[in-house]
Amino acid sequence: MAIIENIRLLKGAAVLAERKAATPSLDLKRFNLFYGFNGSGKSTLSRIFAALQHGKKQERLPEGCTFEIEMSNAAKFSYPKAPAGLEKCVCVFNGDFIAENLRWETGVANPVFYIGADQADVADQLKALENILPATRTKHEVEARCLMNARRRSPSTTERFADGILAPSARGTARLDSIVHHLGLALGGRPAAGFARRLMLPVSKDTLLRVVRRRSRSPGDPLKVIGIDDWAWRRNHRYASIICNLERRRVVTLLPDREPATAQA
């Protein structure tokens, strides 16, 4: 199979040096490694090969760019006049390919894998399954509806989990609650929510902070050293008080006024 042996002519390719017929051949092999700093022309070079892959003008190549590719069998392909002919021989994976096919912002990807001719039987089976899928789905929906109706008519029974696994009326296990608590302590609200999403634990930043606050409540031990202060909601009319545990440096409670009897109670 013929391989690309040389970029014989090159002009107007941004930072890449101009090449002429008298320029020494690149003498490319089957495997080649191109490396360089950012802005050294690696993306432009990949777009030159992408033009051969698509067999047409590449929009991201600089305006006025021309080149001629020489193959190991002496065949030549020029751009933009005659780039067609290598569509089935060249595959380019670069930033342009990712932007066109893997659209991360929408969560949708274009198909990049295809079933070959040797898997035609599998393709036929897949098409047959797709045809019977709506009927099968309808059948299962009817069965599920009948089962739900039967459960509504039958006496309800409740089976409790063992202690330490799931608390009554809880929406998650104790282990999940512990993971959420540690994530909230380590990362905070928004960063922990993003990391939890990567761990397939869909939890909001508000839930993370709520779990941290719930688990960080001070125990009900007798208060030994407290601090009391008041403030005015409206001067000379309405006041309130705050009581803090000075040992733990935490708020104990808020009082609706600043009367001594209320604080003693």
Residue ranges covered by each domain of the chain: 4-109, 174-215, 226-264
What pLDDT, on a 0 to 100 scale, did the predictor assign at position 188?
Answer: 82
* Structural tokens at position 214: 């719930």
Q: H or E stretch including 262?
A: helix 260-264
Q: What are phi and psi of 78, to 5 degrees?
A: -110, 155
What pLDDT, on a 0 to 100 scale, did the predictor assign at position 191?
Answer: 87
Say if CB 160 and CB 168 are below 8 A apart.
Answer: yes
What pLDDT, on a 0 to 100 scale, did the predictor assign at position 244?
Answer: 86
Report the SS3 class of residue 17: coil
Residue 228, strand partner residues: 243
- Give the pLDDT band (50/70/90) at residue 36: confident
Whole-model pTM?
A: 0.41
What pLDDT, on a 0 to 100 scale, did the predictor assign at position 249?
Answer: 77
Say if CB 226 and CB 246 are below 8 A apart.
Answer: yes
* Structural tokens at position 100: 């066109």
Percentage of residues in the chain with pLDDT exceeding 90?
0
Give yes or no for residue 159 having a pLDDT over 70: no
* Structural tokens at position 139: 């059948």
